[in-house]
Structure 1
Amino acid sequence: MDVALEYADEYFFDSVYAKLLPAQNFVNGTLDDVVTSAWSRDNDMRMCLSIFIIVTLGGWFFYLSAATFSYYFLFDHEYMKHPKFLKNQVRLEIDCAVKAVPGFSALTVPWFWGEVKGYSLLYENMPTTPLGWAYFFLVMPTFLLFTDFGIYWIHRYLHHPILYKRLHKPHHKWIVPSPFASHAFHPLDGYSQSIPYHLFVYLIPMQKWQYIGMFIFVNIWTVMIHDGNFISRSTIINTSAHHAVHHLYFNYNYGQYFTFWDRFGGSHREPTEEQYNEELRNSKKTWAAQAKDAEDIEGEVLGTNKKKTN
């Protein structure tokens, strides 16, 4: 974030803040012609506002570009005929995500501010020794394992009826998601699931460009597991097929990257030919059964299933 902030200050924010909050600069008792801002670059209020703007604009850009690419080149549009695919769903997903991004951007500002101020364990120099390079490459799977563990438990507790109704239900409005559902969260939901990514670099040293690369990967992965492209049959990786099962059947496959914690926690459900066989996947009979199961399961969770509450 420090690099992004430096470039943004140089080419944009310096002039903007100088116009909005000009400083009165005097040289030898005479007003200087060079206009600067009363908020210097190291002003914490300015820093936080700038970070918020950068994260919000960056969030919109990465979300819309990645989801649009996935929607047009990977997503099976036949799935949009599913009875649980809502009318105007893509527009609703985009609207939800675009409105949510500023909210969870604001919540993440303290983490990024801490990085800029040097409170995290991010470091700048690339490794120069074999041991340094070994650590450099080892920290990447460590990042994935650490964040997968954190997201699994956060995501699982977001399915508790009390939290689900208030926070996570907006994301499960998309029972049959498109790639645009990837960031269509309640802001507090999206933020809570991002905490492990930010926390990692306050606990474990990581090269800053490597961290930026992993953060971009995280956002692309989030789109990928909503893309409805069920090619991979991995039993280790939490693929888009696994995540489709999560949206359909609710109480399964909370993990982000791997299936380990779902297996450990008893929440794993392996995708079947319903996901992998194109003919079966797009069968109206399959869709009808999925729609009924999805309604029954959510009814149980929300206490609206008459068979369960009478």
Structure 2
Amino acid sequence: MDIVLEAADAYLFDYVYAKLFPVPQAVAALIQTAGPSTDLVTSLAKNLSLSYIPTQPYKTTIFTAPPTAYLSTVPRDNIIRESISLFLLVWIFGIVLYFLFASLSYAFIFDKRTMNHPKYLKNQMRMEITQAMSSMPWMSLYTVPWFVFEVKGYSMLYWDPNEYPKSYLFWQFPLFIAFTDFGVYLIHRGLHHPFIYKHLHKPHHKWIVPTPYASHAFHPVDGYLQSLPYHIFPFVFPLHKFSYLLLFTFINIWTILIHDGEYMTNNPAINGAACHTIHHLYFNYNYGQFTTLWDRIGGSYRLPEASLFDHSAKMSKSTWDSQSKEMEKIVKTVEDTDDRTYASPASAAPVSAAPVETKKQK
């Protein structure tokens, strides 16, 4: 994230901080006259006996620090400034990615007939967006320490492609997928423990038949916990900085794609939208993020029904009725009562107090 922060400083934050926390006018005049050479300005400032001497460093990777970078009393490497700037960047970047790709998915991929499903909620899409918008600032805040440690140089992120074998520029991608897929599986399955589920993960399972806007509609702690493997990876394995930005973007897009309801692949190795639809419908299956490997090993894999890949059959009343009946049985075990308000009142099945025999919570 240091490259992103550096660009944001050069083109935005340097100007903002210079405006909010300006250096004395005499120092600003020296900088604008002599140029942003810290040594020269420091020497001139000492000779003029100025009370403020700009000694802050401005190490850069790509972007040359403009003169404005020296015009604030809060230097770029101030940890509070870095934290605030990173928080704003992650929050804004997350919102832009969410609305851009969720909207593209909704417009061009998502089958609008899904909203006629008996388990589609009243005002669901608006509630999904509201949940996502209320959680994103908190998820961004929880993530900031990881990015600060990266910017301070404590991670294994690197810029010089010659620092590691050239072949690693390729192998870092499958290694990242393998590591994070295992981590997300463990965390996601743990979030389905009955005690944890009702406090953290239940808000995301409000959406039985999600739209692309459900992709980021989490409880903020839930969303943060499931993101931990992505942040841990560059502290354990080397990762090129540009590759990290690509993967960060890919993760957000993938999260949207597995909620779009368009089952483009039935590959037994890929945990795509079909597998994740099964997870939302039946709760206790397909916890993986990218592959079905760990679900198969952990005994939680469920093969998506063939009807999901038939555009007519997957929208038929018989398919929806079958899905609804099974979901109603499972939700009694997982949540005791179904407190959702469905768009179709008839779809809200009564819940009895008697236990129902079904697959136990994983």
User: Which of 62, 69, 73 is equivalent to 2:104?
Assistant: 69
1:191 maps to which residue? 224
Secondary structure, counterpart of 2:259 in structure 1: coil
Pick from 64, 85, 92 the counterpart of residue 127 of structure 2.
Answer: 92
Aligned-residue CA RMSD (Å): 1.8
Task: Write out per-residue CA displacement over residues 205-246 of structure 1, whole angstroms, 9 at most, x where no aligned residue.
Answer: 111101111111111111111111112111010010000000
What percent of counterpart residues are identical?
A: 50
- C-alpha distance in structure 1 between counterparts of 2:143 and 2:111, whole Å: 33
Q: 1:3 Cα shift?
A: 1.1
2: CA distance between counterparts of 1:25 and 1:118? 34
**1:117 aligns to what?**
152
Q: Which string of whole-angstrom CA distances, capped at 9 and with x for unpartnered residues, describes residues 85-135 of structure 1?
A: 11221111111111111110000000000110000000001248xx82211
CA deviation string 1:118-160 (max 9, x = no partner): 00000001248xx822111111101000000000010001011
What is the Cα deviation at residue 46 of structure 1? 0.5
Match of 1:45 in 2: 80
Q: Which stretch of the first structure deviates more once superposed, 1-10 or 105-114?
A: 1-10
> How many angstroms apart in 2 are the aligned matches of 1:65 and 1:99?
18
Q: Secondary structure at the match of 1:133?
A: coil
SS at match of 1:132: coil
Matches within 5 A, 1:209-248: 209-248=242-281
Secondary structure of the residue aligned to 1:278 is coil
CA contact (8 A) 1:127 1:136 kept: no
Give the counterpart letter for 2:114 in structure 1: Y
CA distance in 2, matches of 1:285, 1:87: 22
SS of residue matched to 2:319: helix
Q: Deviations over 1:18-39 (max 9, x none)?
A: 222334365425699x883231
Match of 2:336 in 1: 303
Structure 2 SS opposite 1:39: coil
The whole-number CA distance in structure 2 between the counterparts of 1:144 and 1:237 is 12
Query: Per the alignment, in what secondary structure is the counterpart of residue 290 of structure 2?
Result: coil
2:81 corresponds to which letter in structure 1?
R
Question: Is it true that 1:283 corresponds to 2:316 in the alignment?
Answer: yes
Q: Give the letter for the 1:225 counterpart.
A: I
Distance in 1, matches of 2:354 and 2:321, equals: 19
Runs of at least 5 residues in structure 2 that lack an aligned partner in the other structure: 27-44, 53-67, 338-351, 357-362
Q: Per the alignment, in what secondary structure is the counterpart of residue 215 of structure 2?
A: helix
Secondary structure of 2:12's match? Answer: helix
- 2:11 corresponds in structure 1 to 11
CA contact (8 A) 1:126 1:207 kept: yes
> How much does 1:40 deviate?
1.1
Greater helix fraction, Structure 1 or Structure 2: 1
User: What is the aligned length?
Assistant: 306
Q: Secondary structure at the match of 1:169?
A: helix
Q: Does 1:22 align with 2:69?
A: no
Q: Which has the larger radius of gyration?
A: 2
> Unaligned regions of 5+ residues in structure 1, if any?
none
